[in-house]
Chain A
Amino acid sequence: MSTAAASPYGPQADPGPPGLAAKLLGFCEELRSEGVAVGTSEILDAFAALEMVEWTSQDDFREALATTIAKSQDDRRVFELLFDRYFFRAAEAEAIQHEVSERGGGGGDSGEGGERLDMEELREQIREAIAAGDEDRLRDLARLAIAAFGRAEGSGVVGVDVQRIRRTLGLTAGAQPPTDGGEERPPIDRDQLNSFERHLRRELERDLIERTETLPPSRPLAELDRALPTSPTQDLAAVHRAVSQMKRRLATLGHEQRGHRKATAVDVRRTMRASLETGGVPLRLKYKPKRPRRPEIYVLCDVSTSVTSASVFFLSVLHALHDSFRKLRSFVFIERISEVTEVFEHERDFAVVAQRISSEGGVADVSGYTDYGRVWLEFLTEISDELDPRSTVIVLGDARTNGREPHAEVFAQVAERAGRLFWLNPEPKLYWNYGDSVMAAYERYCDGAFECWTTRHLENFVNVVAGGAPAVE
Chain B
Amino acid sequence: MSEGSVAEVKEALAKVGYLADEPAALVSFLAQRLDKPVLVEGPAGVGKTELAKALSRATGRELVRLQCYEGLDEAKAMYEWNYRKQLLRIQAGGAQGGWDDVQEDIFSSDFLLTRPLMQAISSPEPVVLLIDEIDKTDQEFEAMLLELLSDFQITIPELGQISATTMPIVVLTSNDSRELTEALKRRCLYLWLDYPGVEREMEIVRLHAPDLPETLARRLVEVIQMVRALDLKKPPSIAESIDWARTLLLMGAEDINRETFNQSMSIIVKHRTDIDLVAERVGMKLAEAPSRAG
The interface of chain A, by Cβ under 8 A from chain B, is 37, 39, 41-42, 45, 48-49, 52-54, 59-60, 63-64, 66-68, 70-73, 76, 233-234, 237, 351-352, 355, 359
Of B23-31, B202-210, B244-252, the one with at least 4 CB within 8 A of chain A: B23-31
Count of A-B contacts judged by CB separation below 8 Å: 72
**Which residues of the other chain, A, contact B69 by a CB distance below 8 angstroms?**
none
| 5 chain-A/chain-B pairs, Cβ below 8 angstroms | A60-B6, A66-B190, A67-B189, A68-B30, A237-B179
Closest residue of A by beta carbon distance from B177: A233
B26 contacts A53, C-beta separation under 8 Å? yes
Those of B176-194 within 8 Å (CB) of chain A: 176-179, 182, 185-192
B189 contacts A68, C-beta separation under 8 Å? yes
Q: B156 at the A/B interface (Cβ < 8 Å)?
A: no
Q: B36 at the A/B interface (Cβ < 8 Å)?
A: yes
Those of B140-186 within 8 Å (CB) of chain A: 176-179, 182, 185-186
A71 contacts B188, C-beta separation under 8 Å? yes
Q: B280 at the A/B interface (Cβ < 8 Å)?
A: no
**Which residues of the other chain, B, contact A53 by a CB distance below 8 angstroms?**
6, 26, 29-30
**Which residues of the other chain, A, contact B34 by a CB distance below 8 angstroms?**
45, 48-49, 52
The 10 closest A-B pairs by CB, nearest first: A71-B185, A237-B179, A71-B190, A52-B33, A63-B26, A67-B189, A63-B23, A67-B27, A49-B30, A67-B190
A63 to B22, CA, bound (A): 8
Q: A237-B178, A351-B233 are in contact. Are A39 and B30 (CB under 8 A)?
A: no
**Which residues of the other chain, B, contact A68 by a CB distance below 8 angstroms?**
30, 189-190
**Which residues of the other chain, B, contact A64 by a CB distance below 8 angstroms?**
26, 30
Q: A63-B22, A63-B26, A234-B176 are in contact. Are A72 and B190 (CB under 8 A)?
A: yes
B26 contacts A41, C-beta separation under 8 Å? no
A271 to B66, CA, bound (A): 64
Closest residue of B by beta carbon distance from A241: B179
List 6 other contacts, CB 8 Å, given A53-B26, A60-B22: A49-B189, A53-B6, A54-B5, A60-B26, A63-B26, A68-B190
Q: B231 at the A/B interface (Cβ < 8 Å)?
A: yes
Closest residue of B by beta carbon distance from A240: B179
A97 to B30, CA, bound (A): 36
Q: B39 at the A/B interface (Cβ < 8 Å)?
A: yes
**Which residues of the other chain, A, contact B178 by a CB distance below 8 angstroms?**
237
A351 to B177, CA, bound (A): 11
**Which residues of the other chain, A, contact B233 by a CB distance below 8 angstroms?**
351-352, 355
**Which residues of the other chain, B, contact A76 by a CB distance below 8 angstroms?**
190, 192
B186 contacts A42, C-beta separation under 8 Å? yes
A32 to B41, CA, bound (A): 23
A351 to B230, CA, bound (A): 13
**Which residues of the other chain, B, contact A49 by a CB distance below 8 angstroms?**
30, 34, 189
**Which residues of the other chain, B, contact A73 by a CB distance below 8 angstroms?**
41, 176, 192
Closest residue of B by beta carbon distance from A352: B233
Kindly name the residue among B23, B30, B179, B189 whose own CB sees the greatest number of chain A CB atoms within 10 A.
B30
Kindly name the residue among A41, A49, A359 whose own CB sees the greatest number of chain B CB atoms within 10 A.
A49
Report the minimal beta-carbon distance from B39 to chain A, rounded to whole angstroms.
Answer: 7
B186 contacts A41, C-beta separation under 8 Å? yes
A387 to B239, CA, bound (A): 53
**Which residues of the other chain, A, contact B192 by a CB distance below 8 angstroms?**
73, 76
Closest residue of B by beta carbon distance from A38: B186
**Which residues of the other chain, B, contact A39 by a CB distance below 8 angstroms?**
186
**Which residues of the other chain, A, contact B187 by a CB distance below 8 angstroms?**
41
A49 to B189, CA, bound (A): 10
**Which residues of the other chain, B, contact A234 by a CB distance below 8 angstroms?**
176
Those of B239-294 within 8 Å (CB) of chain A: 273
A339 to B186, CA, bound (A): 43
B182 contacts A355, C-beta separation under 8 Å? no
Report the minimal beta-carbon distance from B274 to chain A, rounded to whole angstroms.
Answer: 10
**Which residues of the other chain, B, contact A66 by a CB distance below 8 angstroms?**
23, 190
A234 to B176, CA, bound (A): 8
A70 to B41, CA, bound (A): 13
**Which residues of the other chain, B, contact A59 by a CB distance below 8 angstroms?**
22, 26
Q: A45-B34, A60-B6 are in contact. Are A70 and B23 (CB under 8 A)?
A: no
A67 contacts B191, C-beta separation under 8 Å? yes
**Which residues of the other chain, B, contact A48 by a CB distance below 8 angstroms?**
34
A233 to B36, CA, bound (A): 27
A300 to B33, CA, bound (A): 54
**Which residues of the other chain, A, contact B186 by a CB distance below 8 angstroms?**
39, 41-42, 71
A37 contacts B182, C-beta separation under 8 Å? yes
B30 contacts A52, C-beta separation under 8 Å? yes
A351 to B271, CA, bound (A): 14
A230 to B29, CA, bound (A): 28
Q: A52-B29, A68-B189, A76-B192 are in contact. Are A355 and B36 (CB under 8 A)?
A: no
**Which residues of the other chain, B, contact A67 by a CB distance below 8 angstroms?**
23, 26-27, 30, 189-191
Closest residue of B by beta carbon distance from A76: B192
B36 contacts A71, C-beta separation under 8 Å? no
Report the minimal beta-carbon distance from B239 to chain A, rounded to whole angstroms.
Answer: 21
A63 to B31, CA, bound (A): 13
Report the minimal beta-carbon distance from A220 to chain B, rounded to whole angstroms.
Answer: 22
**Which residues of the other chain, A, contact B273 by a CB distance below 8 angstroms?**
355, 359
Report the minimal beta-carbon distance from A346 to chain B, rounded to whole angstroms.
Answer: 15
**Which residues of the other chain, A, contact B22 by a CB distance below 8 angstroms?**
59-60, 63
B27 contacts A70, C-beta separation under 8 Å? no
**Which residues of the other chain, B, contact A352 by a CB distance below 8 angstroms?**
233
**Which residues of the other chain, B, contact A72 by a CB distance below 8 angstroms?**
41, 179, 185, 190
Report the minimal beta-carbon distance from B215 to chain A, rounded to whole angstroms.
Answer: 17
**Which residues of the other chain, A, contact B5 by a CB distance below 8 angstroms?**
54
**Which residues of the other chain, B, contact A60 by a CB distance below 8 angstroms?**
6, 22, 26
Closest residue of A by beta carbon distance from B182: A37
A258 to B30, CA, bound (A): 59
A13 to B33, CA, bound (A): 27
**Which residues of the other chain, A, contact B191 by a CB distance below 8 angstroms?**
67
Closest residue of B by beta carbon distance from A234: B176
Report the minimal beta-carbon distance from B11 to chain A, rounded to whole angstroms.
Answer: 15
**Which residues of the other chain, B, contact A42 by a CB distance below 8 angstroms?**
186
Closest residue of B by beta carbon distance from A358: B231
Chain B, residues 13-46, CB within 8 Å of chain A (1/0): the string is 0000000001100110110011010010100000
A388 to B268, CA, bound (A): 51
**Which residues of the other chain, B, contact A41 by a CB distance below 8 angstroms?**
186-187
